[in-house]
Structures are given as structure tokens and as C-alpha cells.
Structure 1
Amino acid sequence: MTTVTDRDISLLRDALGPLRDREQVAARLLESSARHSFDPDRELDWDAPLVDGAWFWPPELLSLYDTPLWDRMSQDQRIELSRHEAASLASLGIWFEIILMQLLVRHIYDKPVTSNHVRYALTEIADECRHSMMFARMIERNGTPAYPVPRVYHHIARVLKTCSTTPGSFAATLLGEEILDWMQRLTFPDERVQPLVRGVTRIHVIEESRHVRYAREELRRQMVTAPRWERELTRISSGEAARVFSVCFVNPAVYEKVGIDRRTAVAQVRASAHRREVMQTGARRLTEFLDDIGVLRGPGRALWRKSGLLA
């Protein structure tokens, strides 16, 4: 793959702008939103009983799958793990979407309020509000606690979102959306999984596909037009965000909830070749895109490798 240099970016800055018309992209996304948006409170049957013996997340996507601990767990214990990991991922999603909403509001603060670009950002914020409420309701309906990220990472994220550049914000957006999106695309058609979880993931996949398009187009544009210092900071901040995200992906408290020693479980997850492959496969479409537009360079690339999301 050809590396995008700063000289290349400088030469392409003016040439590529007209090729990606921000307003046209936003107009198409607004049309799609009008056709394919959902009200989870009405679309999903929240009163339906849970299905006995059904998974809450595909077993192959669970953190302990194919580890020595997994081999010793009963089927009931594995399903219980899936229930708590689904709650952990939903909690992570809420945390991330609250951050994303703040980043989007900052992004449009000084932009023309009547533009399609701002209208779509506000539409996406409304989507994320519904998603966060949907995830919270699913956690409650499945009978588990919420699993907030550890306090230290909660505060690290506070710094990252406050200091984030515009391209850094969209890189972080894609980080939070694309890996979970890959997992959810495997979840909603899986008949082994609880119908409610499948319904939640189906809605999220359909609506998030627009969010990914919006973020990709804007990040590509920003990596052409942003000043050099901002691009360099974006490379580092996105790598640190990847590291934090990978650490927070599953809250270790879920292991204790199903009667497993936390330290043993965390050690086996870290040593698991299967888990590493799952995470890198889920991130591959994103990392290939980021590499193509010049984000995965320098110290930032090393941070992405440290996160385990980049081979």
C-alpha cells in the first residue's frame, strides 16, 4: 500500500476538495435517515419473555471463547457470560456515544446552521440519543447491571475528547463504531441469539452505517485540508484512543459475576490467539481505511499495534 506523505497531502489539498462535496454527502444521508430510521420503543417487543438456552451474544465473539477456562465452563455458565458481556458492550456503547455526541456538537458549533452537513450531524446526534436509551433498556431487560468503564479511562477519555482535533474526533468516532458494527452484523442474523438482542443490533447496524459514511467522508477530507500539526496530533490521539478502547472493551467484572477468577480470566484473554484474531478482524476494515488516508503513521501506528487492533 502506498504511503501518503505530507508532500502528497499538500499537493492534493486543493485538488480533492471538490471531489467530496460535503453538502451532497450530507443530503444523501438525510434522505436515507428519512427512509430508514427506527423508534426502538415501538419496533421491539420489550415485554416478550427471554428464550431459555439462547445466547445473548454469539459464543465465538465472547472474550473467553477457545481458552482453557472456556473448556471448563458449563453451558449455563457460558450463556451467563454472554449475558454479562452483552451488557458490558452495551455499557461501552453508551459511554462512547455520549462522547461522540459531545464531539459532534463541538464540530458543528461554528458551521452554518442551515447546511446539510449540520442538519445531518444533528440527525446523527438524535440517532445516538435513541441508541443510548435502547442499550440501557436492553441491559435492564436482560437482568444485568451496567458495566461502566474503569474510572481512570473515564477520565482519560475526558481529556481526549476535550483536546481532540476535528479529524481526531472523526477517527475516534470510527474506532467506536466500526468494530462494534462488525460484531453486530454477525449477531442480528444469528438465530442462536436472544430475539431482543438481535433486534437491538439490527437497528443499530442499519442506522450506524450512515454514521460511518459521514465520519469516513469527513475524516478523509480533514486529512487533506487540516494543517500538519493537526494531522500529526490526530495520528497520536487516535492511537491512544485505540489503546483505551481495546482495554475497556469488556469490563473484567463480568468474570466475577459468573464465578470466574478475574485475574485468571484477564490473563487468558490476553494470551488468546482467537481473541486477538477476532479483534483484529473486527478492526481490519477500519485500519485499512486509516492506513490509506495517512492516519496510521509514526508513533500513532505503534500505539495502534500496542492496542492489539493492528497486526
Structure 2
Amino acid sequence: MASSTARPTIHGDGPEEEPVARRLLHSAAVLSYDPAVEVDWDTPLDRDFHGASPEWSTLYGTAYWQELTEDQRRELTRQEAASVASTGIWFEMILQQMVLRDIYGKDPTGAGFQWALTEIAEECRHSIMFARGAQKLGAPAYRPRRAVLELGRLFKTLAFGEAAYAAILVAEEVLDVMQRDWMRDERVVPFVRTINNIHVVEESRHMKFARDETRRRLRGAGRLRRQVNALVVAGASYFIVTSMVNKAVYAQAGLDSGRALAEARANEHHKAMLRSSCSGLMDFLASAGLLTRPALAFYQRAHLI
């Protein structure tokens, strides 16, 4: 949280923001997708494909994985992909509400205001796309546990400025690395690859703006403000990342839930995948002064560093 009495905003009205916002508006005008048209929703699910790259499965590399049949492995990755998509909907809804709250009353003629609405529109399409994708994968409605849902409600209400954008950036960056692998993997069912490609292309604009806003909001920030915000970002990131794969996926895939959960928690391969996906992100947080000793504890518990 800021030490200043003035309340920082997510989307400011300053002149520094306008050139970035104008470039992003141009990018959105040139390269955007309509998932309702681009994704093949009509072809029945081909169960000979995975839902995600097997290497990203929480059980990949474990003794249990070696015992699974190919059909079981494919079903597990489909359920895990659906869970990640459902978590994506959750934190995209958090982002949408924070941005809408912030631009209320702002000058609608500014590029920053118009980019904010463009970003919200893209996030709305992504959420619908993820929901339809999870449904087509044959998955139930995976949700974070109740305590995490309520913490998310608190975060979206109170977080602002660099704390808001940096926390969402963590979730977007982790998801981006996963999806770049999945969209290129011919073992993944084609409609999921299309979903991943759309999200990677459009989310790159959101991550660009989030990084710029985080740097700009922290310019001139004092030590206390950085320390507090670093802890807020790390805490939010921990709950977002650890909610990506719901523990219910194992039973839904027909596995021994207790054994699967125990082996997933101890899976060093999956922890290494998460760490490797976050190396650039951790460098950014360190350069912004948001990788403090207390914050490191959260990132280490989430296996992001």
C-alpha cells in the first residue's frame, strides 16, 4: 500500500501514459481475435489429444505418472488445463473490476481511458473463451477454495497502483509461459492450441502495460511503500499460482486423489518448470524493488524462485 495520502491509480491521466496507450490501441486494432469465430467449438472433443503439454502436468515425472495409461494421462492434462482456465477466469475478473473502478470518472477522450476499456473487452472475451474451453474439455466448474475467493474479493476492492498491476502481472506471466508451450505442441487438442494462441497474442499487450504502470507508479516511491507493496504482491501471487490446479482434478480424471495430491506436492519436476517460467519475472520484480526478503518467502513457497 502507498505511504502517501494520495491514492495512486491503475490507469493514470499523465502524459507518460498516453504514448504507450496509443501504441497498444493501435496493436489491438491491427491484431485482435473473436474467439466465438476463431475457435472450433463445433467439432467434438478428440480424446486422443492432451489438454496441455504433458511436461506441464503436476504428476509428470512422478512414480504415479509412470503407472498411468496414455488415456489416463491425456484425461489428467485435460482436467488440469480446464482448471488453469477456470483460475484464469477468476483473476481476469479481479483485473476487470479493478480497472473499471479506477477509470470511473476519468476523461474518456484520453488514450489511457480507451485502452483500459479495450483491455477489459479483451479480458471479457478471454473469460468466455476459457469457460467454453473448460466445458468442451468435459470439466466441472473448478473454483479456488472459499478462503481464497474471499481474499480475492478483498484484494480487488483494496489493491491499487503498483500492487494491483504487479500482482496480476505475476499470474499473467506464469500463464503466458505455459500457454506458449501448449500452443506449439501438436499433442495438445487443436481447439486448446487456438485458445492459447489467442490469449498469448492479446495478453502480451496487457503485460506490457502492467510492467510500464508498475515502473511508473513506483517512481519516487519510498522504502516503506516498496516494502509493503512487495509483500502484498507476493501474497496475492502465492494464492493465485497455488490455485491454478485444483486438487479435484485428480478424482475427476479417475485417479487416486490422495496419492496423486501427495506426489504432485512433492514433484520436483513441476516445481522446476514453474521456477524456469518465472526467471524473467523475478528479474523484473527485483529491478522494481519488489523482491524483498519477506516477499521471497511467498515466492519460494509457491516454487516461483
Compute the TM-score of the two structures, normalised by the length of structure 2.
Answer: 0.91
The residue that corresponds to 1:240 in the other structure is 235
CA contact (8 A) 1:165 1:234 kept: no
Matches for 1:38-187 after TM superposition, within 5 Å: 38-109=33-104, 111-187=106-182
Q: Distance in 2 between matches of 1:228 and 1:112?
A: 32
Q: Does 1:250 align with 2:245?
A: yes
For residues 298 and 82 of structure 1, what CA distance do their matches in structure 2 show?
Answer: 35
Structure 2 residues without counterparts, runs of 5 or longer: 1-14
Query: What is the rounded CA distance, in whole Å, between the counterparts of 2:162 and 2:47 in structure 1?
Result: 45
**Which amino acid letter does the alignment assign opposite residue 37 of structure 1?**
S
Using the alignment, how far apart are the partners of 1:300 and 1:84 within structure 2?
31
Where does structure 1 lack aligned partners over 5 or more consecutive residues? Answer: 1-19
The equivalent residue for 2:271 is 276
Q: Which moved more, 1:156-165 or 1:70-79?
A: 156-165
Distance 2:168 2:103 in 1: 15
Moved more, 122-131 or 267-276: 267-276
Q: Which moved more, 1:205-214 or 1:297-306?
A: 297-306
Are residues 254 and 52 of structure 1, via their aligned partners in 2, closer, same or farther at CA, if it must alter by over 3 Å?
closer
Q: Equivalent residue for 2:280?
A: 285
Distance 1:252 1:211 in 2: 29
Distance 1:76 1:115 in 2: 53
Root-mean-square deviation over aligned CA pairs: 1.5
Partner of 2:205: 210
Q: What's the counterpart of residue 300 of structure 2? A: 305
Listed one character per residue, the Cα deviations across residues 157-187 of structure 1 (whole Å, up to 9, x for unaligned) are 1122222131110011101211001111111
The amino acid across from 2:77 in the alignment is S
| Counterpart AA for 1:153 | V
What is the distance in 2 between the residues matched to 1:172 and 1:147?
Answer: 21
Tell me, yes or no, if the aligned pair for 1:246 and 1:308 is still in contact at 8 Å: no
CA distance in 2, matches of 1:105, 1:229: 28
The residue that corresponds to 1:262 in the other structure is: 257
* TM-score (normalised: structure 1): 0.89
Give the structure with the higher percent helix: 1
Q: CA deviation at 1:229?
A: 4.2
Query: Partner letter of residue 23 of structure 2?
Result: R
Task: Tell me the equivalent position of 1:12.
Answer: none
Query: Which shows bigger deviation, 159-168 or 215-224?
Result: 159-168
Deviations 1:180-237 (A, max 9, x none): 0111111111111111000110100000000000100000111114455443321111
Give the residue type in structure 2 aligned to 1:78. R
